[in-house]
Amino acid sequence: MTFEDTAEIASSTLQRFATAAGVTIAGEAWGTSSGIPVLFIHGGGQTRHSWKQTAQYVASHGGYRAITVDLRGHGESDYAPDGDYRLDRFVEDIADVVSQLSQPPVFVGASLGGMISILLVGEQGVSASGVVLVDVAPRLEEAGVERIFSFMQSHQGGFDSLEEAAAAVEEYLPHRKRPLDISGLEKNLRKGADGRYYWHWDHRMLGHANREKAKHEERLLAAAQSITVPVLLLRGILSDVVSKNVAAEFQEAVPHARHIDITDAAHTVAGDSNSAFTEAVLSFLQEVSTSHVK
């Protein structure tokens, strides 16, 4: 199997998920509607487009229903009218999304998306077929988390051009080779009335994130230890958020979880080494599918 083989990749359909909170969640789906759902949940400050290549490949090569969503306040989903971006609000939104799926999904969550997945499955008892945690664990390295928040806070005034935004990303992710074509970056930006480019998420979210970042560690650990379905931790080997020690702690706390390090990747695993990341996710999905058949 070769990741570059895209001949079988199907087009997507746009999705709109209503929630009890009145916030509409935007999504995109690939693959057969009867396939096992694979729900991709991005990290804070990202959008569903972070998963596009992986979602396409999973749908085309495994018969799965790959679904990517924008969290509240991100991308094309509604911004919270009351500015409420507490972790529990994200959890409630995605629980409402899952209730509209045909069968229990495999969760693939990065960073904030991984925390949501842990709480949904381990604390809220939402049915799942498996959980993939992308560079996230109950405990995170403080220095790495601070670097993320620093980046998100430093560009609230927007950018004059895509080139300026690309330069900011390049400075933040020095390990990642800058693409020759930066037009794809536009999907993570919105153009304001002033003509400047802004990240496609609600900056009010940062207030809650800063207050909550150390609050839920014990809660997340208890939830993770309650998960009984297959779990895979994919860590970027260059990550300053999930260190080798953090990964070891997680495996000790959740003995049935598997752990794979992705070479040449930092915290933004899917974007740093997408081919290796996608192959690891697809392999896990195939194992989960096989266990279901048995």
Per DSSP, 139 falls in state: S
Q: Give the pLDDT score at 10.
A: 60
User: Does the pLDDT value for residue 9 go beyond 60?
Assistant: no
pLDDT score, position 53: 94
Q: Report d(CA 200, CA 29) in Å as an integer.
A: 20
Q: Which amino acid, residue 106?
A: V
pTM for this model (two decimals): 0.93
* Residue with tokens 């609050």, as numbered in its chain: 215
% of the chain surpassing 70 pLDDT: 93
Comparing C-alpha atoms, which of 268, 227, 240 is closest to residue 107?
227
pLDDT at 214: 59
Across 117-128, average pLDDT: 98
- As a whole number of angstroms, the distance between CA 156 and CA 188 comes to 14
pLDDT at 179: 82
pLDDT band at 3 (very low <50, low <70, confident <90, very high): very low
Measured CA to CA in angstroms, residue 226 lies from 78, 93, 140, 215, 237 at distances of: 32, 21, 19, 19, 26
Residues for the chain: how many in total? 294
Banded model confidence at residue 8, pLDDT cuts 50, 70, 90: very low
Q: Which of 10-24, 202-216, 230-244 has the highest mean pLDDT?
A: 230-244
Alpha helices for 20-66 (secondary structure H): 52-62
* Alpha-carbon distances, residue 118 vs 52, 110, 221 (angstroms): 22, 11, 9
- What sections of the chain are H helices per DSSP? 52-62, 87-98, 112-118, 142-154, 162-172, 205-212, 217-225, 244-253, 269-272, 274-293
**Do residues 86 and 204 lie in contact, with contact meaning Cβ atoms separated by under 8 Å?**
no
pLDDT tens track for 145-196:
999 999 998 888 999 999 999 999 999 998 888 888 888 888 889 999 999 9
> What single-letter amino acid sits at 289?
S
Please give the structure tokens belonging to residue 58. 């999973």
The gap from C-alpha 244 to its chain's centroid, in whole angstroms, comes to 20
Which amino acid, 216?
H
Q: Residue 176's pLDDT is what? A: 84
Confidence of residue 293 (pLDDT cuts 50, 70, 90): low
The β-bridge partners of 233 are 133, 259
Q: How many CB atoms lie within 10 A of CB 286?
A: 13
Residue 1: pLDDT band (50, 70, 90) is: very low
Q: Output the six-digit token pair for 244.
A: 């080798």
pLDDT at 6 over 50: no
Q: What number is the average pLDDT over the span 193-218?
A: 81
pLDDT tens readout for residues 62-108? 889 999 999 999 999 999 999 999 999 999 999 999 999 999 999 99
Question: CA 150 to CA 46: how far, in whole Å?
Answer: 15
pLDDT score at 221: 97
Average pLDDT value for residue range 33-39? 94
Instruction: Give 143's contacts (C-beta < 8 A, 6+ positions apart).
Output: 240
pLDDT digits (tens, 9 = 90+) for 233-259: 999 999 999 999 999 999 999 999 999
